A and B are shown apart, each in its own frame.
Chain A
Amino acid sequence: NAGVMQNPRHLVRRRGQEARLRCSPMKGHSHVYWYRQLPEEGLKFMVYLQKENIIDESGMPKERFSAEFPKEGPSILRIQQVVRGDSAAYFCASSPLSGGNTGELFFGEGSRLTVL
């Protein structure tokens, strides 16, 4: 059973470009979370999705960031017009139930975005 798959693992963008990060949850998991980890900082919750629905996006910046989890295919975190401050590791996690209930989120290895 493959774990949470994220790609790309490393992404370099210039300021103003778009970044698209993809996440395929573990088989059988319908809950997907995106977290951001800035250098020397903790993981910060961004968004929680179930298939075709955004359940909680309270951690998402108001502009330039969007997320989706379509009926078919991976979850996508999209960052438009990237700035240097967007450089971070973006972790996707999945769970079979709501993470707050069980506490067990299965994380992918992360996508490391560098903005030049």
Chain B
Amino acid sequence: RKEVEQDPGPFNVPEGATVAFNCTYSNSASQSFFWYRQDCRKEPKLLMSVYSSGNEDGRFTAQLNRASQYISLLIRDSKLSDSATYLCVVASNSGYALNFGKGTSLLVTP
């Protein structure tokens, strides 16, 4: 089983739609979780951390379910500029490295 698994998509949604991405992780001892964004042929950039209580940053909401080892990202009122690949990221056993999922591709259309 892969350490971090995501539905690759693509998700094609119209502007203004709400879209949700899911991610599962295999290591129940993981303590830190994040969402990164990667534009086509660009470097990944941190979007937001994921906290146990759930957290929101503008149109973005991240949630963590430790019992199910499941992480989600909700994007409300999608913009064209949200089109990108969203990477689910979990800190490794060592605590040093970050393990990245393959990413979920989002395309927001006019």
Minimum Cβ distance to chain B for residue A8 (Å): 15
Please indicate the chain A residues that have their CB under 8 angstroms from the CB of B103 in the complex. 42
Say whether chain B's binding surface is mostly helix, strand, loop, or mixed.
strand
Residue interface bits B33-46, CB-to-A below 8 A is 1, else 0: 11000000011111
Interface contacts (Cβ under 8 Å), in number, total: 66
CB pair A101–B100 under 8 Å, yes or no, is: no
The docked-state distance in angstroms from the alpha carbon of A58 to that of B99 is: 12
CB pair B99–A103 under 8 Å, yes or no, is: no
The docked-state distance in angstroms from the alpha carbon of A113 to that of B67 is: 41
Minimum Cβ distance to chain B for residue A111 (Å): 11
CB pair B45–A99 under 8 Å, yes or no, is: no
Please indicate the chain A residues that have their CB under 8 angstroms from the CB of B45 in the complex. 107
Residue of B nearest to A6 (CB): B43
- 9 nearest A-B pairs in the assembled complex, by CB-CB distance: A107-B43, A42-B102, A100-B95, A100-B91, A43-B100, A103-B34, A45-B97, A104-B46, A42-B100
